[in-house]
Structure 1
Amino acid sequence: MRALSNMLAFSDEILADFMVELLPKLLRLLLLAICILSKQCKHISWSYRYSSIINKKTSNFAISNRPNWKECSICLSEFEQGDEAMELVDCRHVFHRSCLEKWLRCHLATCPLCRSVVVPDAVVREYHRARMDRESDGIQKELALVLFKVLHGGSCRHGFF
């Protein structure tokens, strides 16, 4: 009987340790994971939407033997046979694919030559805002570091937990 009561007392200690020590840490980890995944899903959604608009407004092809265009107006390099090119559907201007993709994603969502709109301004603003949020989200990184330190038994001197 004494052995049974000792075993029950030991299981109570394990349950108490779990409830006091491990469960709060697991809940914090779960909350952090949900926040990070939510932001990632938002960024992926805007990135996909932005890319799909670009794909609808452009056509990709490889430069043939005698290109009709002399040079890419973005990088100012001559087109050569086999180069991947991208043409804007509305204005028919042609650029190296990598140059135009970088231009549309990082700079402006307009044609580099005639400034015709490729992606609507509202979509561009949301895409760049989501991109900036992702690049400058230091608080999530800090919380993740604090949480992992706490989960590994270290003390937290930041005051969050």
Structure 2
Amino acid sequence: MGALAKLLSYPDKILAVFFLEALPEILRLLVLAICVVWKYYKLINTNYKYKSRMKKKTSKFTTRANSSLGECAICLSEFEEGEEGMEVVECKHAFHKHCLEKWIQGYKATCPLCRSLVVPEVILAEYQRMQVEREDSWIEKEMALILLNALDGRSCNGYF
């Protein structure tokens, strides 16, 4: 009779451990996972908006041997054959591709020479904010700590 009572008490203990320890940890992990997915969705969406606006307002080209472009006004170096360049559609100013992208991402959303708008300030501000958030990501750090605790066995008595 004592063995039967002991056997029947195990489901109660298992359910108690599950509802009091494992379930809260599972819910916390689920909420953190949703936050991480949402953040990366916003990051991808912001990058897409930024890049699509950039493509609309600029055109890419590859320099040729007989081009008369002169020098890039950002880095002040000559255009060489085969280099990728970008031209701002509205003002027709040409720059090295990587120079113009760096200028727009890091400084202003305008042409470096005439200040015509390349990417709207709102989209640039959102893009820069998302880049800062990406570098200082506490959610991923929190998620990693929780997962490490769970894998180490200190969380949920090894059931999780």
TM range, normalised to the smaller chain? 0.7 to 0.9
1-structure distance, mates of 2:60, 2:50: 17
Aligned residues: 154
- Give 1:159's aligned residue: none
2:130 corresponds to 1:130: yes
Equivalence map 1:129-148=2 (5 Å): 129-137=129-137, 139-148=138-147
**Cα drift, residue 142 of structure 1:** 4.6
How far apart are the structure 2 equivalents of 1:18 and 1:119?
52
Q: Which runs of 5+ in 1 are unaligned?
A: 156-161
Residue 99 of structure 1 aligns with which residue?
A: 99
- SS of 2:119's partner is coil
Deviations 1:7-50 (A, max 9, x none): 54334433332222221111111111111111111121111101
Q: Which amino acid aligns with 1:18?
A: F
- Which deviates more from structure 2 when the two are superposed, residues 15-24 or residues 54-63? 15-24
Output the amino acid matched with 1:148: L
Q: CA deviation at 1:95?
A: 0.8
The 8 Å contact of residues 57 and 88 in structure 1, kept in 2 or not, is answered as yes
Distance in 2 between residues matched to 1:74 and 1:7, nearest whole Å: 78
2:21 corresponds in structure 1 to 21
Cα distance in structure 2, aligned partners of 1:7 and 1:99: 72
Structure 2, unpaired ranges of 5+:
156-160
Q: 1:82 offset after TM fit, Å?
A: 0.4
Partner Cα distance (1:105, 1:7) in 2: 66
Aligned residue in 1 for 2:111? 111
**TM value normalised by structure 1:** 0.82
Question: Could you tell me whether the CA contact under 8 Å between 1:28 and 1:147 is conserved in 2?
Answer: no
Q: How does 1:1-161 map to 2 (within 5 A)?
A: 7-137=7-137, 139-151=138-150, 152-154=152-154
